[in-house]
Amino acid sequence: MAAKHQGRSGRPWARIKARWKATSRICYLCGHWIPADVPPNHPLEYTVDHIDPRSKGGPPTMENTAPAHRRCNSRKGVKALAELELLKTSRAW
C-alpha cells in the first residue's frame, strides 16, 4: 500500500519548516528580517515558500524551499522564481 501524501500538514513539511526557522530569518524574496513575534496570518509572519511551486512539479525539499514573509510569499503566488521579477527593495530609502 502506498503512503498517503500529507502535503504541507505532514511531518516531512514540519521538519523542513523547523530547519529553516532554526537557520534563517531573512526573507529570500525581499531581503528583510522576518520577525518572530507577529500573530498568525500577519503579513510579516514567517512562512516557507516553494521556489519552484509544487503545482508545477517542484519537489518538497530543503533545496526547493526558502523562508519568506507571508506577504512576499502571497505576492509570488504560483510563479517559479525564474518567472518572477524579484521583490527586493533598495536599501537606500
Banded model confidence at residue 91, pLDDT cuts 50, 70, 90: low
Query: What pLDDT shows up at residue 1?
Result: 43
Q: Tell me the chain's radius of gyration from C-alpha atoms.
A: 14
pLDDT tens figures, 28-64: 999 999 999 999 999 999 999 999 999 999 998 999 9
Q: Where is pLDDT greater, at 85 or 54?
A: 54
Domain ranges for the chain? 12-83
The residue to which cell 505532514 is assigned: 10
Mean pLDDT across the chain: 85
Q: Where is pLDDT greater, at 31 or 5?
A: 31
Query: What pLDDT shows up at residue 82?
Result: 75
Q: CA-CA distance, 26 to 23, in Å (whole number)? A: 9
Q: Which residues contact 87 (CB under 8 A, 6 or more apart)?
A: 29, 30, 72, 75, 76
Other beta carbons less than 10 A from residue 49's beta carbon: 21
The residue to which cell 510579516 is assigned: 44
Cell of 71: 506577504
CATH class of 12-83: mainly alpha
| DSSP E strand stretches across 7-64 | 46-50
User: pTM of the entire structure?
Assistant: 0.77
